[in-house]
Amino acid sequence: MSRLGKIPINLPKGVKITTANGVLLVEGPKGKLTRPMQEGISVTVEGEKIKVTRANDERQTRASHGLIRSTLNSMVKGVSEGFNRTLVSVGVGYRMAVQGNKLSISAGFSHPVVFELPKGVTGKVDDQTKLTLSGIDKEQLGTVADKIRAVRPPEPYKGKGIRYEGEQIQLKEGKAGAGGKSA
């Protein structure tokens, strides 16, 4: 039995779970999410707990047991509370601005990079350098945050670039003669 897969999920108030035609639907106050179910895995609601069980001990079913439980837990948390991801731009002249669903990033290029936020993800900028993304789908939010970070990833010498809040960048030492003793 999967260690993670056998842990029951707490069902918050206002969240409904239904399974039909191999599709799992989770509805809550923030919205609804769907995900196709894998054969051999079943989801049952017992009171205020959700249990994920597997029908057999085939290799693929065992491998997916914990993954589906973890994904379902993220879906339940997303429709009840939502998720946030914060990105910070570090560097002189590096800034971000949101207009509607378009994110404009000035990150040291000759032109601003315009990034369109997908449906389901919203952005808010504080101090022109701090972008907070929010949404109900954890997977989609992580993918969008990663694409924005890829516009200008942190460089290893000065640490300039776009990074996640709290991310530690391992800085490299510069050239040996850069401190400069001239002969």
pLDDT digits (tens, 9 = 90+) for 48-106: 999 999 999 899 888 899 999 999 999 999 999 999 999 999 999 999 999 999 999 99
The CATH number of the domain covering residues in 83-164: 3.90.930.12
Q: What is the pLDDT of residues 158-172, one digit of tens each?
A: 999 999 999 999 999
Instruction: Name the residue ranges covered by the structural domains of the chain.
Output: 9-80, 83-164
Angle at 25 between CA 19 and CA 30, to 5 degrees: 155
Whether the domain at 9-80 and the domain at 83-164 fall into the same CATH topology? yes
Classify each residue of 164-175 as buried b or exposed e, where b means 16 or more C-beta atoms within 10 Å of its C-beta.
eeeeebeeeeee
State the fold for domain 9-80.
Answer: Outer Surface Protein A; domain 3 (3.90.930)
* pLDDT tier at 178, thresholds 50, 70, 90: low
Is the pLDDT reported for residue 182 higher than 60? no
